[in-house]
Amino acid sequence: MASSARDSSLDQIWSKLQPLFIAKRNQVFAVMNEHGLTPPHMQALTMLVDGPVRMRDIADVMVCDASYVTAIVDNLEHLGLAIRRPSSVDRRVKEIALTPLGEQTAAQIGIEMSAPPPGLEQLCHADRATLARILGRLELDETQSLWPHIGRRAPGR
């Protein structure tokens, strides 16, 4: 049975980490704003980096109605970042693909999103190595990154 008392040392550690997360969150929102995007637009953009995606699949991943995805895609098209086109396997199905501008924008955003938050650069090399070793001991699902694909592929595939 789990103890109901919290370890105050864990609270202290987490309170020291929170400013890093908040600084990164603010950086993420600034980058989205710079590109005229909202969080749902960014999520859809990340899904398109690896290639065209059916609108239905976007809705399934985002756990939303297809009409909401239509509005998201409308905005991505308006910004020149994505296009609708018939699927190469079933012309009745619409898929969404990044435009060259969309690929370039996704790559730029990926660089920003994958940059560490301000503050970590203050650590010396030995402290960085120690922190990396400690974090490596945590059982984290690294596939749950907020930006798993953005910036990992060169524009033009």
Domain ranges within the chain, ordered by starting residue: 20-144
What is the per-residue pLDDT for 61? 92
What is the per-residue pLDDT for 126? 97
What is the per-residue pLDDT for 112? 85
What is the per-residue pLDDT for 138? 87
- Residue that wins the pLDDT comparison between 130 and 4: 130
- Interval 28-37: pLDDT, tens: 889 889 999 9
CA–CA dist 76, 28 (Å, integer): 18
What class, spelled out in words, does domain 20-144 have in CATH? mainly alpha
Q: Which residues make Cβ contacts (< 8 Å) with residue 111, sequence separation at least 6?
A: 151
